[in-house]
Amino acid sequence: MGTRVLPRSPTIAVALAVCATVAVAAVLGTVDPWLPKIGLFAGGADLHVYRDGGWRVLHGLPLYGGPVVLGLLYTYTPFSALAFVLLERIPGAFVDDLWMVVNLGVLAGCILLCWRILGYRITPYLLLVTALTTVTCTFVEPVRTTLFYGQINLVLMLWVLWDFSRPERSILRGVGIGLGAAIKLTPAFFVILLLALRQWRAAAVATSVFAGTVGLAWVVVPRDSSRYWTSTFFDSTRIAGDAHPSNQSLRGTLTRLTDGQAPPWLWLILAGAVAVVGLVVSVRLYDRDERLLSVVLGGLTAAVVSPYSWSHHWVWLVPLMVFVMHRAVSGNGRWWFACAALFVSTAAWPYWWGPNFAVVGLFLYPPSWPVAFLLQNIYVLVYVPVLASAIRMVTRPAQSRPTRTSVVTDLPAPAPAPSEAPLRSA
């Protein structure tokens, strides 16, 4: 049961309503939503790859022998294709619109879980703020791109957040992480975080779920499983070139910085160092009851150290925005500027190369621009101040914590009487 109550602020509600309205206008107005290859409602490429994976399993066709639908390669685990059989059963005429609605609902669920992890009680006002924040975040580039491609990143993030919203002694804690890693390997980073937090049972549950899915897939599609885990798993070239601007990872940044001349050992050393620092800071944040920021930093660190991170892997920026909003409504107005800066730097700003061709996202802007290198690595650069701020938080002296029986609200405290000392709540 949450102990915080989000204060009813007409100013915040109106501001969020304005942001949501602007976001909808930007999503639908900056790029024609039906424009081929880039319009929000003219996508679904990855969704159809998922469905084709399920279709191939049903018909005994290989997953990794060559291109699948739309000439793309299937890069997900064999178990994912088993899971995507459910999507394949949905008629093609309805699947795009249905998955769009599901993703929007999942986005709202992620935001609501963030408030829960922060300790807020679910109230009508909190639901209103969640709804307005959901609409506003549709113009955040990773979210907009996830919706456009019909990606599954928001679902995976929901599972991870659900795990961390569970009580630490819950026998279900870890199931979501295990399932997420079974479809896309990146959530496996949270198993390492669970181990670092010494949450042995949750780590064991996640590992067991993941291992169980691998075993199940090996029984159902043994040839695909053998090929994936002995060959495809190690072939990052199946995704795209490391230097592509859409690769918003440390490896992509190094490749672009050195014109493709960065030795693999350099990336391994730097990625390992970032992973260790990110894990240590995440653990210390968790120990200080900054649990949402701990999980968010884990998600962002996983995107940074991954060999290849498409921009839509950075949906963890949404929980980060919720955390910044939480800090802002807790009394420090300067956090609103941080929230605005985060939104502006990660929004789905389009660039028109011609009357019928546009790109979405600052990292795809013209490479001839003087600030092109900064834009091409925008998410890695956003990660730097986030990590630095988190380090600063965990190196400050810890403040006293409220007792579990106390009720913490963010409402202004009444002015103390002259003879009273002002009360402070952590």
Residue partners of 320: CB distance under 8 A and separation at least 6: 293, 296, 300, 342, 386
Helices 291-305, 378-395: inter-axial angle, 10-degree rounding? 140
Q: Which residues pair with 359 in a beta bridge?
A: 351
Chain-wide mean pLDDT for the chain?
Answer: 91
Q: Where are the beta strands (DSSP E) in 49-176?
A: none
CA 96 from centroid of its chain's CA atoms: 21
Residues 121 and 1 sit within 8 Å (Cβ to Cβ): yes
pLDDT given for residue 387 in this prediction: 98
Which segments in the chain show pLDDT lower than 70? 1-2, 236-239, 399-426
pLDDT given for residue 261 in this prediction: 84
| Tokens at 5, concatenated | 């109550």
For 135-189, write each residue's pLDDT tens digit.
999 999 999 999 999 999 999 999 999 999 999 999 999 999 999 999 999 999 9
CA distances from 389 to 276, 321, 335, 338 (A): 16, 14, 12, 11
Residues 240 and 246 sit within 8 Å (Cβ to Cβ): yes
pLDDT given for residue 417 in this prediction: 39
| Tokens at 383, concatenated | 């990660």
pLDDT given for residue 411 in this prediction: 40
**Which residue has tokens 């679910």?**
122
Closest CA to 199 of 183, 207, 213: 207
- What is the model's pTM? 0.91
pLDDT given for residue 405 in this prediction: 36
Cα separation, 241 vs 184, whole angstroms: 19
Residue partners of 363: CB distance under 8 A and separation at least 6: 245, 246, 248, 311, 375, 376, 377, 378, 379
